[in-house]
A and B are shown apart, each in its own frame.
Chain A
Amino acid sequence: MIQLENVSKVYRMGKVEVPALSGVDLTIDDGELVAIMGPSGSGKTTLMNILGCLDVPTSGRYLLDGTDASRLSDNRLAKIRSRKIGFIFQSFNLVARTSAVRNVELPLVYAGVHARRNPARHALAQVGLSDREKFMPNELSGGQQQRVAIARALINDPTLLLADEPTGNLDTASSAEILKLLGALNDAGRTVVIITHEEEVAGFAKRVVRMRDGRIESDRVQRSRTEVTA
């Protein structure tokens, strides 16, 4: 379970203080599929950074699986990212010149796990890329790269799968594939949060949180979800 309690974030730009988030309360239960939407500057990226333990709030509390992640050192945050968060980025962010299977193994390397190859293969199989294990990122299509990224995000069995514009760099067919995959993972019980500004992507979520000026503008459950067809 994820809980944000009165979370604010203020950035300092020289002498000016710029509020990015002001008093956000948000609770996401296990197994939800949430889309966070908003125009640029609405604070959704800041919200994602805090949810993903890449940054800490200026004030307020962030509880991730009961652990307070709002006042932790760099090192502890890295450990939490390693165990509880799986990231999926708009630009895939695979490590260059490193094969698909090694990319998937990486989180296990940093988590100190020794038996890595089999779990990594299994994760690649889950996203349907068993035949691309030895391929380098530049030998894979965008959709395939994003699927490798999803396999990498899944390998540590994270509490939260955090996707930042996961379809932003993909064509329609690949986008549909990725959304379908995320939907399937959510059906299997995985908590998924997607940050997006595309209505189509949001339409496929079970719950949509809209942000504006650092606040939550609306938060509603969608009854009629868009069906994703690949």
Chain B
Amino acid sequence: MNLQEAVRIALRGLRANRLRSVLTMLGIIIGVAAVILLVAIGNGVQSSVNEKIQPLANLITIVPSAGNVPGGAPPKDLVDADVAALQEPAMSHDIAAVIPATSGKALTETDSYRFRATVIGSTDRWLDLNNGDMAAGSFFDDAQVRSTARVVVLGPSVASYLFGNDPAAALSHTVRINRQTFRVIGVMQSVGEPGDSVAVMPLNTARRYIFGGGDKVNQIIVQASQASAVPAAEDDVIRVLSDRHKIKDTANRDFEVQSLRSRLDTFNQILRILTLFTAAVAAISLFVGAIGVLNIMLVSVTERTREIGIRKAIGATRRAILEQFLIESLVLAGLGGFIGIGVGVGLSILGSILAPALGPTFATFAPAVTIPSVVLSFAISLVIGLVAGGYPANRAARLRPIEALRYQ
């Protein structure tokens, strides 16, 4: 008997019990669709978060940290000379840019309103490195940094609190910070709190008028040439600064190096585990579907005992009977898997269409169907067909024709 004929006999068997076949398939359909959809949602969340964080992933932040060895040398501050050393191109080819920053809370006021903002003094590259954008006006430039210009760029929360919701309304007005007057030259776009409650000005302007003189910085931002170069750049930073601060024991280190990259990796790892876990939960419904197929195949074999006897009497071999029922359950599970893939992919696409309607948080969220999850869940449904069909098919094949013919 050839395969084509076996498939035709199997299909006729399934069609004969259409409702039952569809209900059995439903178990597999739901299982496969759930696996595909949940994996797609997990991937969607991951890529949506990565998309937001990726531009910042190549940033390394260095802050001073108090030495934790009692009786040791007092910790050295981070100073301009440290920044200059890191900026030395010979020191590292994994570092693309280095900018210093000082910061502190200060009262920012107009005649009518006051707001406690985080004042940041830095260079003209600050906006660029922090992946910010302007809502109105412009960021200060290199000339203004050199001339210690009394200009300030406001975060959107500060601007709207002091000048109202239109960012342009703040331009060319002055604000008093620490009782000193600064001209507002720009308002930044929102990046979310606490990043929106800032007032950014040139480094030396901040030192002269707000934080007092000196060459201290309380943050150095290092941009690695690319996200994958972050670990190498971190090593270079630690080497250069340890050398300058004369630190031989890592326990005595008086600065701390942080990067988003490692946190992003941790986050991704957690999310991957979570996705696999939810997929595993969905796979339970696939397992239940498999039991459904097994159950129906057993019923089908019992119901058709007499038919099996007839087929054997007119020359069907064990193998022919085995094939008939195995193909029947393979078609049942395979077709279920196929439809399940369609439903899962369809729901994922529907999700990516509907997600933006849920609000700006979901704007970049789109469930991403992955090929491995599709291939794997289809393969699993075929395995289900093979395993759940194997036992009943084998039972059918082993039936003795005399007894099968006598079965009522």
Task: Name B313's contact: one of A81, A83, A109, A156 (CB within 8 Å).
Answer: A81
Q: Which of A83, A96, A98 contacts B315 (CB 8 A)?
A: A83
Contact A55 B320 (CB under 8 A): no
Closest A residue to B310 by CB, please name it.
A93
Least Cβ–Cβ distance between B403 and chain A, in angstroms: 10
Q: Assess the A93–B306 pair: CB atoms within 8 A.
A: yes
Q: Give A55 to B312 CA distance when docked, in angstroms.
A: 12
Whether, in the assembled complex, A79 has its beta carbon less than 8 Å from a beta carbon of chain B, the answer is yes
A110 interface neighbour in B1, B16, B306, B402, Cβ under 8 Å: B1
Task: Report, as a range, how many residues of chain A touch the other chain.
Answer: 20 to 34
Indicate if the CB atoms of A107 and B402 lie closer than 8 Å.
no
Establish whether residues A82 and B307, one from each chain, have CB atoms under 8 Å apart when the complex forms: no
A112 touching B313, Cβ below 8 Å? no
The distance from the CB of A91 to the nearest CB of chain B, in whole angstroms, is 9
A82 to B320, CA, bound (A): 12
Q: Judge whether B401 is part of the interface by a CB distance below 8 angstroms.
A: yes
| Residues of chain A in range 90-128 having any CB-CB distance to chain B below 8 Å | 93-98, 106-107, 109-112, 114
Contact A97 B12 (CB under 8 A): yes
Chain B: CB-nearest residue to A48: B402
| Distance, CA A104 to CA B405, complexed state (A) | 18
Pick from B2, B307, B318: contact of A78, CB under 8 Å: B318
Tell me, yes or no, whether B317 is within 8 Å of chain A by CB. Answer: yes
| Complex contact A54–B401 (CB within 8 A) | yes
Q: How distant is B395 from chain A, measured CB to nearest CB, in Å?
A: 14
Given the interface pairs A54-B401, A89-B405, A93-B405, the reply to whether A110 lies near B317 with Cβ below 8 Å is yes
B2 to chain A, nearest CB (A): 7
- Size of the B side of the interface (Cβ < 8 Å), in residues, is 23
In angstroms, Cα B401 to Cα A205, docked, is 28
* Residues in B neighbouring A107, C-beta threshold 8 A: 314-315
Shortest Cβ gap from A66 to chain B (Å): 20
Interface residues of B in 1-49 (CB under 8 A from A): 1-2, 5, 9, 12, 16
Answer whether residue B301 sits at the interface, using C-beta atoms and an 8 A cutoff: no
In Å, the complex CA distance between A83 and B316 comes to 11
Q: What residues on B are CB-neighbors of A152 within 8 Å?
A: 314
CB of A97 to closest CB in B, whole Å: 5
Which residue on chain A has the smallest CB distance to residue B15? A97
Known contacts A97-B12, A97-B16, A98-B12, A111 near B315 by CB under 8 Å = yes
Give the residue name and chain of the B residue nearest to A97 (CB): B16
Give the nearest-CB partner of B17 in chain A. A97
B311 at the binding interface (Cβ < 8 Å): yes
Determine whether the beta carbon of B402 is less than 8 Å from that of A78: no
From A83, which residue of chain B is reached at the shortest CB distance?
B315
Report if A109-B5 is in contact (Cβ < 8 Å); known contacts: A75-B317, A79-B317. Answer: yes
CA distance A54 to B309 in the complex (A): 10
Q: Are B313 and A106 in contact (CB under 8 A)?
A: no
CB proximity of B277 to chain A, nearest CB, Å: 46
Chain A residues lying within 8 Å of B320, measured Cβ to Cβ, are 110
| B9 CB to nearest chain A CB (Å) | 8
Chain A residues with Cβ under 8 A from B5's Cβ?
Answer: 109
- Say whether A5 faces chain B, with CB atoms less than 8 Å apart: no
Give Cα A216 to B401, complex, Å. Answer: 25
- A139 on interface, CB distance cutoff 8 Å: no
User: B2, A112: Cβ atoms under 8 Å?
Assistant: yes
Residues of the B chain whose Cβ atoms lie less than 8 Å from the Cβ of A93: 306, 309-310, 313, 405
* In the bound complex, CA of A107 to CA of B311 (Å): 8
Q: Which chain A residue shows the least CB distance to B16? A: A97
The answer to whether A78 touches B306 (Cβ under 8 A) is: no
Known: A97-B12, A98-B12, A112-B2. A106 touches B314 (CB 8 A): yes
Q: From the candidates A49, A74, A95, A97, name the one contacting B311 in the complex (CB within 8 A).
A: A95
Tell me, yes or no, whether A143 is within 8 Å of chain B by CB: no
Which of B310, B318, B320 is packed against the most chain A CB atoms within 10 Å? B310
**B residues at A contact (CB < 8 Å):** 1-2, 5, 9, 12, 16, 306-307, 309-320, 401-402, 405
Known: A75-B318, A95-B307. 13 other contacts (CB 8 A): A49-B402, A54-B402, A75-B319, A78-B315, A79-B315, A79-B317, A81-B312, A94-B310, A95-B311, A106-B314, A107-B315, A110-B314, A110-B320
Task: Please list 28 pairs of residues, one from A and one from B, whose beta carbons are closer than 8 Å in the complex, sorted by A's number.
Answer: A49-B402, A54-B313, A54-B401, A55-B402, A74-B318, A78-B312, A78-B316, A81-B312, A81-B313, A82-B315, A83-B315, A87-B313, A89-B405, A93-B309, A94-B310, A96-B16, A97-B16, A98-B12, A106-B314, A107-B315, A110-B311, A110-B314, A110-B316, A110-B317, A110-B320, A111-B315, A112-B1, A112-B2
Chain A residues engaging chain B, CB cutoff 8 angstroms: 49, 52, 54-55, 74-75, 78-79, 81-83, 87, 89, 93-98, 106-107, 109-112, 114, 152, 156
Closest 10 CB pairs of A and B: A82-B315, A110-B315, A78-B317, A107-B314, A93-B310, A110-B316, A97-B16, A54-B401, A81-B315, A87-B313
